[in-house]
Amino acid sequence: MKKLLTIIAIIAFIFTGLGSTAAAYDTKVYHWSYKPEKDNKPVTTEPHYLELLEKYGGYFIGNTDKKELYLTFDNGYENGYTAKVLDVLKEKKVPATFFVTGHYLKTEQDLIKRMVNEGHIVGNHSYHHPSLPEVSEDRLKRELEKVKEEYTNITGQKDMNYLRPPRGTFSEKSLALSNDLGYTNVFWSMAYKDWEVDKQKGADYAYNQIMKRIHPGAIMLLHSVSKDNAEALGRVIEDCRKQGYAFKSLDELLLDRMMLEETRNQ
């Protein structure tokens, strides 16, 4: 009897400890930001953000010693230009990641299938696009699970490994919970105000905004609702390559990081 009580006490202690750990996650809401640099130099971000990304396996930039670029798009709704973007990517043989919402999955199933069939990654951008650090644990889990479930129903693919936090907001708790669900949080080190569809300024403007921000290891955030982006993309890819850049996928970035960690641990 005494032994049984001891076992029960140990189990209770373990669960109490787990509860304390979960409760210990910082819930302070942060808004993603980085510090721009001139002359196409790699950017950095707040030291505390770096610590959180390191702790929970997130990324915002690749290897800054290599002239590699990672092209990502956020897709909340369709504005008629994603097919053009996919045409350019196919012609130039460039991989990309498309972070999609529930609305996009419901309304653009043919484009989702095309993304997968042409070798691109489809990532999670949540179902309803809420600020994940400001919803309950259950809601966060549902937001991500519903996207993955719908994606699997459309494509038959079961793997969805990357998360772009909606609105660029996060907390230690949202990073930890999403990481526990199997996601790598992917922020960005290059972006510009390209989502305002009523304020497009032409392909030359988009080209210039992108080219002055590229840098080694850049994770590029673009929106395919932008007509300017769609029209500038081919030129951007060509001229980035002329400057010695190569376009890589997030899977390659993750693999490179894993190999680097293995080397460090040997």
User: 120, 215, 223, 228: which is the annotated catalytic residue?
Assistant: 223
User: 31, 74, 103, 194: which is the annotated catalytic residue?
Assistant: 74
Give me the phi and psi of 210, to 5 degrees please.
-75, -50
Q: Is 74 a catalytic residue?
A: yes
Cβ pair 176, 25 in contact under 8 A: yes
Cβ pair 204, 195 in contact under 8 A: no
Q: Is 159 a catalytic residue?
A: no
- For helices 227-242 and 203-211, angle between their N-to-C axes, nearest 10 degrees: 40
Catalytic positions: 74, 223
